[in-house]
């Protein structure tokens, strides 16, 4: 019996040791699980992507280009008002008051379209605008938009959702960046755009266009952040003559910082086509045509054309808009 008892005791000791080892093994596994990566921040970001998202990112970063009076701003506002039919807002950073005129002509005093003037004015008579403060104001508006978009993802948010941002006359923002380079960044001690453009200073110092590009890219980056927060972004800009013929359409190219083309998901090119009769004379009818110059999100749209607006002399204008913008299939 003593031998049997000793054997049982040994078995109990072994069982106890196995349990202890198993507990230690589990503990080691838990420690390994907690420290399974040297990059916990990236791991947390990865896990956040695999979980159900609070907000769906927007894939609309669309530039609408064309000559003055071709309905570019109207296309963007029509897209927002058609796609979102509840109480959602579009904010407009309005460089050329195109947003102001379009809103008042077609949407009255609706609070679904909010207008922001980017300009800070000079107190002197030499130039109208204070370019460094104007650039600072635009960046401030954009950061506030991001803060607002972040807050609307939180539980209990009761404000009007921000769903679209439109920036008119991006070519004017490009000029703001250029004058900031001349006035502020190169330390020319120039008090305004007139003095900064002085021919002598140009010859002695020259320009660093990388600075202008960096300032322009600030706006692009903030717009991309809004996309991640579920906000559609539209830019509107004009055309300039394409003397080199390197990038353009019908002898024209987009008036902006040239690298911006790479950052767009979509580019819509607007033209006015004047209808002529068999005798070659203008009939009084104009058809406004949008060409999908770039479409990363829907390759089938590449080079497709849509008539979005028709005017006829003596008749009421017909507006159709762009279906792909209005229904979100862009």
Looking at 7-11, 152-156, 289-293, which range is the least confident one? 7-11
Q: 20: which residues sit within 8 A by CB, 6+ positions away?
A: none
Confidence of residue 29 (pLDDT cuts 50, 70, 90): very low
Phi-psi region of 299 (alpha: psi -120 to 50; beta: other; left: phi over 0): alpha
Q: Is the pLDDT assigned to residue 121 strictly greater than 90? A: yes
Q: Is the pLDDT assigned to residue 46 strictly greater than 80? A: yes
Do residues 207 and 186 touch, judged by C-beta distance below 8 A? Answer: yes
Helix 131-151 to helix 170-180 angle (10° resolution) is 120
Specify the residue for token string 């570019």.
72
Domain with CATH 3.40.50.300 in the chain: 57-326
Q: Is the pLDDT assigned to residue 28 strictly greater than 50? A: no
Tens-digit pLDDT profile for residues 68-93: 999 999 999 999 999 998 899 999 99
3-class SS of residue 299: helix
CB-facing half-sphere around the CA of 294: CA atoms within 13 A: 19
Position with higher pLDDT, 291 vs 206: 291
Q: Which CATH superfamily is domain 57-326 in?
A: P-loop containing nucleotide triphosphate hydrolases (3.40.50.300)
Tens-digit pLDDT profile for residues 179-209: 888 777 666 656 665 666 654 555 555 566 6
pLDDT at residue 193, rounded to an integer: 59
Confidence of residue 63 (pLDDT cuts 50, 70, 90): very high
Q: Is the pLDDT assigned to residue 290 strictly greater than 60? A: yes
Distance of CA 70 to the CA centre of its chain: 22
The span from the CA of 112 to the CA of 131, in Å, is 29
Rounded to 5 degrees, φ, ψ at 90 are -115, 130
Q: Is the pLDDT assigned to residue 96 strictly greater than 70? A: yes
Within the chain, strands assigned E span 61-66, 89-94, 113-116, 162-168, 232-237, 239-241, 252-254, 266-276, 282-295, 305-312, 318-319
3-class SS of residue 92: strand
Tens-digit pLDDT profile for residues 234-274: 999 999 888 776 666 677 888 888 888 899 999 999 999 99
Q: Is the pLDDT assigned to residue 50 strictly greater than 80? A: no
Position with higher pLDDT, 248 vs 58: 58
DSSP structural state of residue 56? P
pLDDT at residue 32, rounded to an integer: 47
E strand or H helix at 74: helix 72-83
> 319 exposed, middle or buried (CB, 10 Å; 0-12, 13-18, 19+)?
middle
The span from the CA of 123 to the CA of 106, in Å, is 34
Q: Share the mean pLDDT of the chain.
A: 85
Q: Is the pLDDT assigned to residue 26 strictly greater than 70? A: no
Neighbours of 20 (CB within 10 A): 10
Q: 109: which residues sit within 8 A by CB, 6+ positions away?
A: none
pLDDT at residue 55, rounded to an integer: 85
Q: How many helices (H) and strands (E) does the chain have?
A: 11, 11
Q: Is the pLDDT assigned to residue 21 strictly greater than 80? A: no
Neighbours of 116 (CB within 10 A): 17
Average pLDDT of the residues in 214-237: 95
Specify the residue for token string 């008579």.
125
Distances (CA, A) of 48 to 13, 35, 42, 43, 52: 46, 18, 10, 9, 8
Distance of CA 113 to the CA centre of its chain: 17
Model pTM score = 0.82
Runs of H (alpha helix) within 127-234? 131-151, 170-180, 193-196, 199-205, 209-228
């Amino acid at each position: 019996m003593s031998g049997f008892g000793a054997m049982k005791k040994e078995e109990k000791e072994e069982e106890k040791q196995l349990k202890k080892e198993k507990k230690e093994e589990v503990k080691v596994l838990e420690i390994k699980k907690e420290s399974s990566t040297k990059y916990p921040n990236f791991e947390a970001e990865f896990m956040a992507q695999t979980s159900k998202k609070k907000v769906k990112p927007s894939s609309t970063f669309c530039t609408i280009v064309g000559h003055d009076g071709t309905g570019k701003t109207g296309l963007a506002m029509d897209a927002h008002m058609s796609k979102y039919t509840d109480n959602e807002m579009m904010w407009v950073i309005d460089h050329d008051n195109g947003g102001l005129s379009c809103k008042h002509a077609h949407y009255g005093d609706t609070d679904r379209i909010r207008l922001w003037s980017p300009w800070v004015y000079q107190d002197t008579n030499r130039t109208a605008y204070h370019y460094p403060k104007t650039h600072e104001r635009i960046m401030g508006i954009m950061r506030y938009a991001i803060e607002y978009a972040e807050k609307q993802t939180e539980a209990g948010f009761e404000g009007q959702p921000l769903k679209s941002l439109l920036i008119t006359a991006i070519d004017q923002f490009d000029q703001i960046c250029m004058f900031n380079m001349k006035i502020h960044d190169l330390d020319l001690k120039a008090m305004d755009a007139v003095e900064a453009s002085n021919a002598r200073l140009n010859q002695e110092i020259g320009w660093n266009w990388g600075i202008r590009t960096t300032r322009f890219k600030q706006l692009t980056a903030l717009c991309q952040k809004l996309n991640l927060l579920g906000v559609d972004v539209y830019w509107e800009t004009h055309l300039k003559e394409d003397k080199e013929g390197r990038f353009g359409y019908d002898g024209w190219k987009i008036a902006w910082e040239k690298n911006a083309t790479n950052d767009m998901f979509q580019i819509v090119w607007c033209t006015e086509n004047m209808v002529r009769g068999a005798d070659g004379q203008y009939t009084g009818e104009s058809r406004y045509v949008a060409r999908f110059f770039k479409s990363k999100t829907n390759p089938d749209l590449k080079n497709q054309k849509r008539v979005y607006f028709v005017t006829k002399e003596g008749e009421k204008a017909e507006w159709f808009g762009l279906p792909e913008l209005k229904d979100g299939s862009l």
